[in-house]
Amino acid sequence: MGFNRNQHLRENLDALRIVFALEKQKRKASAAEIAQMQRYSGFGGLKFVLNPVQGSGVEKYWTKSDLPFLPLTQELHKIL
């Protein structure tokens, strides 16, 4: 099966949300949270996360094939 960029980005976002929530709440992860965090795969195959995401005209920095990931990448930048 090929690398599904959408799936990997969503799983990474979920894992980051969990980590930050655990840190904020000062608690240990549940079994379900651990399972979700183990799906974290990094951003090596998602180089578009380095593109600008704010301001007018940011779309010009995005390739046509990466542009559908702009909203999720904006979400990533908000989380971080």
Q: Which tens digit of pLDDT belongs to each residue from 52-69?
A: 999 999 999 999 999 999
Q: What share of the chain has pLDDT > 70, as a percent?
A: 99
In the chain, what are the domain boundaries? 5-79
- Are 6 and 48 a contacting pair, CB within 8 Å? no
DSSP for the chain, written as a single string: ----HHHHHHHHHHHHHHHHHHHHHT-PPPHHHHHHHTT---STT-GGGGS--SSTTGGGGS-TTTGGGHHHHHHHHHH-
**CA dist., res. 51 & res. 69, Å (int):** 11
Entry pTM: 0.90
Compute the half-sphere exposure of residue 49: CA atoms within 13 Å on the CB side of its CA: 20
